[in-house]
Structure 1
Amino acid sequence: MTTMTAPAQRFREFRMPDVGEGLTEAEILKWYVAVGDTVTDGQVICEVETAKAAVELPIPYDGVVSEIRFGEGTTVDVGTPIIVVDAGGDGAAGSVDSAGSAGVAASEPPAVETPAPEAPPAEPKRQAVLVGYGVAPSATTRRPRKQAAPDVPVPDVPTADVPAAAVPAPSVPAQAAELNGHDRAAAVDRPLAKPPVRKLAKELGIDLATVVPTGPNGVVTREDIRAAAAPPAALPPVTAAPEPFAATAGARETRIPIKGVRKATAQAMVTSAFTAPHVTEFVTFDITRTMKLVQELKEDRAFTGVRVGPLLLVAKALLVALKRHPEANAAWDEAAQEIVHKSYVNLGIAAATPRGLIVPNIKDAHDKTLPELAAALGELVATARDGKTSPAAMQGGTVTITNVGVFGVDTGTPILNPGESAILAFGAIKLQPWVHKGKVKPRQVTTLALSFDHRLVDGELGSRVLADVAAILEQPKRLLTWG
């Protein structure tokens, strides 16, 4: 009796994945492939924009693109097939594996079929729900995998139930099993890295084989690539200038669809403005000594390769003020009717991008030294400028700084980022007449504005936090005595 295995599925559909944040749709910004192009496992095929960020999607198998189902600018629901790839299997023409997994289509029935394994217990499938509530389990289960022939190792192929961006890098044996003959030996020595990391290495001209991996199981990370590259040049300002608005020629009105980041920002601001009672306080002070310290730090070896500006010291001053008044670093839990005090600070930095305002945050900023804070701030700015800020980088913030001074604005009344207790607006620094040591002299002066949730922070506490930030920036030696 002869044992036969089912032929591999030929046509495979790749579905719009849930990037892991419970989003229900995404807009296709750009296709990097066209019909007839050859694609390989892990190759980035398109860039999509969710309500939180722009994300590049890698495809989880090899083949030739046979169909692209949606054009650029189209908004597609999560779970909808967006591209079909001819994987070159021996299955009947026209048969499609809609999940992108190892489907089976036999051209003729086998003489003897190996017994199918028992179906595994029901496994909850990721189902997109409302933004901010993660994902909900559904009753849908995956099909059991077919048993592979004993003499032909078949690697596990990720299904569309798992977001493409979240599929872990395959192990060395699995990579080798996908190849034949002499290529297996080459795969064993292939450095492990995710597709975006490989792309970064290619852009920077770094050979992955020369990089020392520090990630789990020997995986090369972005930090490893950046460490292997030349020291970074000076970074641009915190805010990236948006693309100039262009009105339709001859039209009295121009309409722009509200979607993506702008839609999410609008919804968040409306929610914040009408759920949290905002209070804003202002203080104007002499920041001359801080500006002198900024110039000194720029020449310090500890800050070589990172951008040093007044925003860095404003951020450090706010962190010190929150350390002195930890009850101001809190959140309001409406469902539980509790105030949640947080022993960590995830410091948000508002950044204007061509796609709209985003607020990525520096995780555990309270634990960082000044050089570490400068490096983290520079990385945040560079990522936002390139439009590559991940959804995870914009979650979990506790307080935010918005630098309106870069636009020449003196101050404002900023609206809280939802879920946070306070937001600090840093105004323009201007040379003004100021009473200094009993005499009127030209001094560098600025204004800070602190908006806070009055359910969490009362007027006295908010005033103390704002006064401390101003006092530190007026006399930066307090960073040592208070910090």
Structure 2
Amino acid sequence: MTTMTEASVREFKMPDVGEGLTEAEILKWYVKPGDTVTDGQVVCEVETAKAAVELPIPYDGVVRDLHFPEGTTVDVGTSIIAVDVSGGTAPAGTGPAVEAPAEVPVAPTATPAAAPAEEKKSVGSGRQPVLVGYGVATSSTKRRPRKGPEVAVPQASTALQTELNGHAPVAADTARPLAKPPVRKLAKDLGVDLTAVTPSGPDGVITREDVHAAVAPPAPEPVTAPAVSVPPAPVPAYDAARETRIPIKGVRKATAQAMIGSAFTAPHVTEFVTVDVTRTMKLVEELKQDKEFAGLRVNPLLLIAKALLAAIKRNPDINASWDETAQEIVLKHYVNLGIAAATPRGLIVPNIKDAHAKTLPQLAQSLGELVSTARGGRTSPAAMQAGTVTITNVGVFGVDTGTPILNPGESAILAVGSIKLQPWVHKGKVKPRQVTTLALSFDHRLVDGELGSKVLADVAAILEQPKRLITWA
């Protein structure tokens, strides 16, 4: 039987699968302890604040331990699975590896401050596979030993240590307070000694509230007052039969934070226009019969998207963003067209890269792929980044219109209402026509009323007379 050593165990850490994400929830494990895995094999699915992502393992071996169960939210950089790459076998259910040092030191020489430097020392020159969020690993790193059975350390007698050191031995305080890096930084900024703070978090972890409490002024002495018998206020009880509480996390949490940031950062202006789209609806039916669109998704949204792209081409200043740090307006010479999609995990906005350069059949294909991928929960974080302008189709829910909130970093968003048969004056007579209402919200810091009005009017004009696409697109 092959003996597994700590040198043969590889710890796979939770990567940053987006831009600057700090945590992810483990949705599902596809392997268990004892399973054999190969380089590139998907071992689990995780949900970040942006999307659900499958994680491949970057080496071959046998699964030794799964450090977290499904449903656990794990910080980026935390090891989630241990794999033995020695070629041996691991029994199912094997617990976490206990990293015992090769020899027991008589006295510790490294301080906690030196730990990060130790982790950066190179112990090998082999290049590891590159995984999203990791970059190129040029060397393996030393890992901090996990907690395991305490090993008795032989100590010299007090007399002998006094003779060797010139003084009596001093007891080393090896109990380092438990706290996350942001809490340690807060304590350092406030000048709080974490060893003197009483932890209130689970498993003795010091929280931000504990640090603030340590620097809060002492409570004033209570003033003695005559005892008054006051019945305690009733505490409303949580009735599980009448209420359901759902943790705010993942895509829904990120969406809420983004919408708050957008609403209170960019001054929104929304304009509306009601338009006769009867000719557009006829063109949709004709395109469905066109052989160039065979097998493609053809619907009104396709022509609305093409109309918006044509309007942006005529008014390019609408396709921009506001850089607060540099105090600059950034004009985009490309259009990454976002399409708001409702999914079981919440609202997401993937975008079609370089939509301005696509033909109508190519745009139809991209729209179809975007929608099917979003509904299947397979949208990647990259597909939701770098959008420049967005369309949200509230008409599919039977809604006439709305005032959409800008996707963060974008300057405009177009809401499309439901298309209904309504009485309309056409060629001097009242006739039943297909009518819809469009709403364009824009960032008033860089888009004034004239520019926003021109873009909305151009979209409406194209939808009323689709043949304008021939000369405007």
Q: TM-score, normalised by structure 2?
A: 0.70
The equivalent of 2:418 in structure 1 is 428
> Matched residues, percent identical?
77
Give the distance between the partners of 2:96 and 2:402, measured in 1 at CA.
Answer: 60
* Structure 1 counterpart of 2:65: 67
Question: In structure 1, how many angstroms separate the alpha carbons of the residues matched to 2:354 and 2:414?
Answer: 18
Report how far residue 383 of structure 1 moved: 1.2
- Does residue 461 in structure 1 map to residue 461 in structure 2? no
CA distance in 1, matches of 2:98, 2:308: 54
DSSP 3-state at the match of 2:264: helix
Asked if 2 retains the 8 angstrom alpha-carbon contact of 1:11 and 1:85, the reply is yes
Q: How much has 1:143 moved relative to structure 2? A: 4.0
Q: Which amino acid is 2:340 matched to? A: A
Q: 1:157 aligns with which of 128, 132, 144?
A: 128
CA, structure 1 residues 140+456, in 2 after alignment: closer, same or farther (shift >3 Å)?
A: farther
Partner SS for 2:447: coil
1:56 to 54, 57, 66: 54
Q: 1:316 to 1:156 in 2, by over 3 A?
A: same
SS class of match (2:325): coil
Q: 1:336 to 1:258 in 2, by over 3 A?
A: same
1:191-270 equivalences under 5 Å are: 251-270=241-260
CA distance in 1, matches of 2:9, 2:98: 6
Give the 3 Å change call, closer, same or farther, for CA 141–368 of structure 1 in structure 2.
farther
Tell me the equivalent position of 2:44: 46
With 438-447 and 9-18 compared, the bigger mean Cα shift is at 9-18
The residue type paired with residue 295 of structure 1 is E
CA distance in 2, matches of 1:284, 1:267: 32
Candidates 384, 390, 402, aligned match of 1:394: 384
Distance of 2:438 and 2:123 partners within structure 1: 61
Contact 2:30–2:42 (Cα < 8 Å) also in 1: yes
Q: Deviations over 1:433-466 (max 9, x none)?
A: 1111111111111110000111111111111110
Q: Which residue is equivalent to 2:304?
A: 314
Shift of 1:62: 2.0
Tell me, in whole angstroms, the C-alpha distance in 2 between the residues paired with 1:167 and 1:332.
30
Aligned in 2, Cα 1:166/1:146: closer, same or farther, shift over 3 Å?
Answer: closer
Q: Provide the C-alpha distance between the structure 1 equivalents of 2:123 and 2:321, rounded to a whole number of angstroms.
A: 46
Determine the structure 1 residue equivalent to 2:74: 76
**Aligned in 2, Cα 1:95/1:47: closer, same or farther, shift over 3 Å?**
closer
- Following the alignment from structure 1 to structure 2, what is the Cα–Cα distance between the partners of residues 470 and 20? 37
Question: Taking structure 1 as reference, are residues 97 and 16 closer, same or farther at Cα in structure 2, changes over 3 Å only?
Answer: farther
In structure 1, what is the Cα distance between the partners aligned to 2:435 and 2:96? 70
Greater radius of gyration (CA): 2
Contact 1:10-1:96 within 8 A present in 2 as well: no
- Once residues 73 and 96 of structure 2 are traced to their aligned partners in structure 1, the CA distance between those partners, rounded to angstroms, is 27
Aligned partner of 1:442 among 432, 443, 449: 432
- Answer yes or no: is the 8 Å Cα contact 1:37–1:64 preserved in 2: yes
Higher mean displacement: 15-24 or 344-353? 15-24
Spell out, residue by residue over 1:260-279, the C-alpha distance to the aligned partner (whole angstroms, 9 max, x if none).
11111000000000011111
Paired with 1:142 and 1:381, the residues of 2 have a C-alpha distance of 44
Aligned to 1:85: 83
2:394 to 377, 380, 404: 404
| 2:207 counterpart residue number | none
Q: How does 1:282-297 map to 2 (within 5 A)?
A: 282-297=272-287
> What residue number does 2:329 align with?
339
Residues paired across the two proteins, number: 353
Could you report, residue by residue, the CA deviation over 1:316-351 in whole angstroms, capped at 9, with x for unpaired residues?
Answer: 000101111111111111111111111111111000
Any conservation in 2 of the 1:59–1:164 contact (CA below 8 Å)?
no
> Given the superposition, is the C-alpha separation of residues 329 and 140 from structure 1 closer, same or farther in structure 2, using an over 3 Å criterion?
farther
Distance 1:464 1:473 in 2: 14
Map Cα deviations across residues 101-156 of structure 1 (whole Å, 9 max, x no partner): xxxx999xxxxxxxxxxxxxxxxxxxxxxxxxxxxxx9787443547xxxxxxx74
**SS at 2:415's partner residue?**
strand
| Cα-to-partner distance string for 1:40-66 (whole Å, 9 max, x where unaligned) | 221101000111111101111222222
* Offset at residue 19 of structure 1 (A): 1.8
Cα distance, 1:164 vs structure 2:
5.5
Is the CA contact 1:351–1:384 (under 8 Å) kept in the aligned structure 2? yes
How far, CA to CA, are the matches of 1:58 and 1:364 in structure 2? 29
The alignment status of 1:418 with 2:408, answered yes or no, reads yes
Q: 1:384 aligns to what SS in structure 2? A: helix
The residue aligned with 2:181 is none
Q: Which amino acid aligns with 1:287?
A: V
Counterpart CA distance in 2 for 1:423 and 1:140 is: 50
Shift of 1:413: 0.3
Corresponding letter in the other structure for 2:271: E
Contact 1:18 1:163 in 2 (8 A): no
* 1:166 positional shift: 6.8
1:22 corresponds to: 20
- Distance change (3 Å), C-alpha of 1:66 and 1:471: same
Local SS of the residue matching 1:268: helix
Q: Provide structure 1 residue ranges, at least 5 long, that are not aligned to the other structure.
A: 1-6, 99-104, 108-137, 148-154, 169-247
Contact 1:422-1:450 at 8 Å conserved across structures: yes
Alignment partners' CA distance in 2, 1:468 and 1:410: 20
Structure 2 unmatched ranges of 5 or more: 104-115, 137-237
| Matching residue within 122, 126, 129 for 1:144 | 122
Helix, strand or coil for the counterpart of 1:450?
A: strand
Can you list the C-alpha shifts for 1:374-427, whole angstroms capped at 9, x where unaligned? 111111111111111111111111110000011111100000001101000011
The 3-state SS of whatever aligns with 1:477 is helix
Once residues 261 and 465 of structure 1 are traced to their aligned partners in structure 2, the CA distance between those partners, rounded to angstroms, is 31
Q: 1:250/1:141 Cα in 2 relative to 1: closer, same or farther (>3 Å)?
A: closer
